Structure 1
């Protein structure tokens, strides 16, 4: 059977969906690897600015899908389901050569199941964290996914054992972040003194993360400043909405006198410039590890959501650096444990324990090497094989 084409004999069509910035980055790397092999192909679906920069056509703004947390998703279920159904109908009519879901499994796996059942090959990039929680999801993955692309080495055996075709393609962040970051250049870029002590604060990019993490993080900065007056603080903001909300929460808590340099984006420069980072759990913690920086991982959420989710984890770790290391390399402070006082104590150790900092740098360097592949080329090769298999 020949690869499916767009109606009326148009160019080869590939559909993709990314629901948040991390998926946008993953899909953009994949598109950069596919374009030399498929120069005339039409890439379309739902995506963000990085995908659009690769010539992608987004039928809905990606921001309409960006929502995190069990309760927020439930509150917007009808809206998200409506978008999913409309896109499904469009793709069933067009029949693209393949559908690629970039992370965002709650939305993409359901869509992939329907498309695969209709004979459209489906690729999922990246593998849902069934090794961390919701292992029963593998049954849905088997029905939904023609080929899985994974970004951590240990995941390959898990999916292969379950009978899901899989390729380990490396983690794109391991390519984007240099093995030896230039701290001095980052500090010059941010206007920070090269011989100063810099702490980077990263409460999260989603509005819900900012809501629950900001006050504890900024209070911890205030307490750290009492211990060391030379400390300087920077905080990258994902956008103007996030920045305005951050400032609102700081003002409401009476913390506006805490001096923090707010950055428009520039998260990698902020991490590279830091002596240590206070970071919300998620992909950002892996970025900090790849920059070889000491960190404290913290996360707070709505109390009801916490009471539901805290029983579902299979592992003692939630931070990606600790999961990859299979030990608590860096502290994790969750919900009530993420108090300003506890954050301060944990951060102080990251800043002041020189032998610990050296050990972390070596472990994070080894981790970086394990994740380093040409992810654009390898993920594109896997997708091309899926398309070829339909001929």
Structure 2
């Protein structure tokens, strides 16, 4: 049993780039408390900086969309089964699933039934869609770590221990943005406007969003020939695939500044941002930037998912504000022309920019906590209870 070990063992699973960032923030608070503990599972390069050992590459789980997941189901299911058997034999002091609910909740259920404490970091969006999952969560999760203030009460009312830890991004991203410093770092011309385009970090997101995003960039260049267009890529595979799509769709004539990583620098440097729905929308809001939220996926997946939502919004800034504070263009609505028109308004409307800066500053303040230490303390309490 875990009590016989000198140092606690912690297992974690993060399934994508945003999860890697969130988990790394947790580890930055946890590793100083447990310098000699084994921390392993599935994660990314930021987690590895804190001595996290990857049993499988995180990219194996970075698939989005119902039918896209089905195509990789056998491999993903095999990884989960192998990890489950390993953890049941090892009996870590705690398992922490970081987002990736479709992968983690089933694994957490099996581990918890075997007496292994389980935590889940970042609530599934039960307040937006598939609210019935809270019953599954209650079976799966010993303690939930939530990142939005309103979520704590939802879980406590359901009898699930929960701690509001703030959103790590609110601490990582400065409240005052150094726009000129970011532009200098990227070698941009200070005389001309800058937009950033973030089509997503998953390969499936790049596949479905690239043509519309860069088609919109081409149209914007017709209005402002000196426009500087930044496109950060999460990794080499994503960059190579993105470049290939540009060539295949005859969009490689659009002058882009494609960066390896540096998404935060690109957002900081931008006057306006086009961003795929997901955690990146919150990043853009915390940088106080006007934005257009857009998303495309396999049509069959879209037809199913669009009927499952409880709210009219998909972007986190709009959900937190409970209104369309920034435009959302999804699936067939996300045409190059519609995206270009919407982003042009975000780029040129000064009154809108001032309003968004005010609202996003308030949002930043509401999400700001010492998340690294608050999450680490919650984990340490669960470990102490299990030993």
Coarse TM-score class (shorter-chain normalised): over 0.9
Please say if residues 5 and 13 of structure 1, whose CA atoms lie closer than 8 Å, have aligned partners that are also in contact. Answer: no
Secondary structure at the counterpart of residue 128 of structure 1: coil
- Alignment RMSD (CA, Å): 1.3
Distance of aligned partners of 1:75 and 1:10 in 2 relative to their CA distance in 1, 3 Å threshold: farther
Give the distance between the partners of 2:219 and 2:78, measured in 1 at CA. 47
Match of 1:47 in 2: 43
Which stretch of structure 1 is more off in the superposition, 333-342 or 82-91? 82-91
- 1:195, distance to aligned residue in structure 2 (A): 3.0
Match of 2:134 in 1: 138
Give the distance between the partners of 1:294 and 1:266, measured in 2 at CA. 19
> TM-score, normalized by length of structure 1?
0.96
Give the distance between the partners of 1:119 and 1:206, measured in 2 at CA. 34
Match of 1:372 in 2: 368
1:4 aligns with 2:9: no
1:180 aligns with 2:142: no
Match of 1:294 in 2: 290
Match of 1:117 in 2: 113
Give the distance between the partners of 1:37 and 1:237, measured in 2 at CA. 33
- 1:194, distance to aligned residue in structure 2 (A): 2.1
Give the distance between the partners of 1:26 and 1:228, measured in 2 at CA. 37
Structure 1 segments of 4 or more deviating over 4 A? none
How is 1:200-211 mapped onto 2 (pairs within 5 angstroms)? Answer: 200-211=196-207
Match of 1:18 in 2: 14
- 1:96, distance to aligned residue in structure 2 (A): 1.2
Deviations 1:298-317 (A, max 9, x none): 00111111111110011000
How is 1:87-236 mapped onto 2 (pairs within 5 angstroms)? Answer: 87-236=83-232
Aligned residues: 387
Please say if residues 7 and 34 of structure 2, whose CA atoms lie closer than 8 Å, have aligned partners that are also in contact. Answer: no
Match of 1:329 in 2: 325
Please say if residues 31 and 54 of structure 1, whose CA atoms lie closer than 8 Å, have aligned partners that are also in contact. Answer: yes
Please say if residues 5 and 11 of structure 1, whose CA atoms lie closer than 8 Å, have aligned partners that are also in contact. Answer: no
1:238 aligns with 2:234: yes
Secondary structure at the counterpart of residue 386 of structure 2: coil
Give the distance between the partners of 1:235 and 1:27, measured in 2 at CA. 25
> TM-score, normalized by length of structure 2?
0.97
Match of 1:264 in 2: 260
- 1:352, distance to aligned residue in structure 2 (A): 1.1
Which stretch of structure 1 is more off in the superposition, 224-233 or 170-179? 224-233
Match of 1:74 in 2: 70
Match of 2:275 in 1: 279
Please say if residues 99 and 122 of structure 1, whose CA atoms lie closer than 8 Å, have aligned partners that are also in contact. Answer: yes
Which stretch of structure 1 is more off in the superposition, 52-61 or 370-379? 52-61
Which stretch of structure 1 is more off in the superposition, 17-26 or 271-280? 17-26
Give the distance between the partners of 1:222 and 1:48, measured in 2 at CA. 34
- 1:197, distance to aligned residue in structure 2 (A): 0.4
Please say if residues 275 and 351 of structure 1, whose CA atoms lie closer than 8 Å, have aligned partners that are also in contact. Answer: yes
Give the distance between the partners of 2:378 and 2:15, measured in 1 at CA. 22
Extract unaligned runs of 5+ from structure 1. none
Give the distance between the partners of 1:83 and 1:181, measured in 2 at CA. 41
Which stretch of structure 1 is more off in the superposition, 28-37 or 202-211? 28-37
